[in-house]
Amino acid sequence: MTEPQPPAPDSPKPTSGRETASEDVQNVDLDDDIATAAAPDAAPESPGTDDAGDTDDAGDALDTDESDLEGPRRRARRERAERREAQARARAIEEARREAKRRVSSQQDEAPKQLGRRTVRGLRLLVWLIVLSVVGVGLGLILYFTPVMSARSLVITGIGAVTREEVVDAAKVRTGTPLLQINTDAVADRVAGIRRVASARVQREYPSTLRITIVERVPIVVKDYPDGPHLFDKDGVDFATAPPPPGLPYIDVDNPGPNDEPTRAALEVMTALSPDVVGQVSRVAAPSVASVTLTLTDGRTVVWGTTDRTQEKAEKLAALLTQPGRTYDVSSPDLPTVK
């Protein structure tokens, strides 16, 4: 087939854009037709081609025909669409990358911010602690060295036989002394040094009071001495030389005192008796720890024995004294006897 020759170019003349596009389309179509027409001559069928090869050639030819039939305008639109899709994918990838970068940077920024807040809170707390410490130290110095809170009154409770003057003299606290400068333990020890005082407690009561609470010793037994009767409390302490209260029993031991074993045995018996029985005892004798004897006001005698099972013996004696007799033996509480 003879290829048609393209017409000779004419002299240029002004044309519109639409006409130019039409001419381009015609020229492309003409070139496609020429290529299509020349294709059979360029690739003749070989005699050894089988059915499968024919089928592949037919598919290639069909694809070629479809691509040829697409036309330049449709191809241009398709290419533009593909470019737009590629650009859209590129923009999406870029946005995703930027978003990931923003997240990482925001997390990195948030951590220093949190650290900064904690640091600020810690600094505030430290400042407040310093301020409070300074205020506390200043207030303590003011209270310690100035008479703002000083002992202007002295309150004493628990006194009976002990006089207020004795307590004040023993305490040795000057009026106007700042309360923080008063050693309460030392004051309590000085007050407890009074013979009739068993214990003492000293307290500061702000703004200007010092309270002293004492517990006096209570006489349990009495013993005659050349200088007069001596009173002994439940611990065996000789705390006063004075006339005994009415009905106070006498103790008959060689060397009464808090460290004397017979004295402690006799006082243990006296503190275990009920008040009714104690009121009937006129004398308690303890030649030894194992031979405690009670003498009642009416002349009856109680053989106590040792201090074993003291509470049980006291209960049996209270029951036995309701029976007539002269001697009550509770040395064996399992078998008490009355004679």
Q: Dump pLDDT digits (tens) for 82-112.
A: 888 999 888 889 888 888 888 877 776 665 5
Cβ contacts of residue 170 below 8 Å, gap of 6+? 190, 191, 193, 194
Determine the pLDDT at residue 34. 37
Among residues of the chain, what percentage have pLDDT more than 90? 52
Give the chain's residues under pLDDT 50. Answer: 1-62
Determine the pLDDT at residue 331. 93
Cβ contacts of residue 200 below 8 Å, gap of 6+? 187, 188, 189, 191, 192, 212, 213, 214, 215
Q: Using alpha carbons, select from 231, 271, 235 the residue that is nearest to residue 251.
A: 231
DSSP symbol at 206 = T
Domains of the chain: 150-216 (3.10.20.310), 219-338 (3.40.50.10960)
Determine the pLDDT at residue 109. 61
Determine the pLDDT at residue 158. 94
Determine the pLDDT at residue 10. 43
Both tokens of 220, joined, read 């349990």
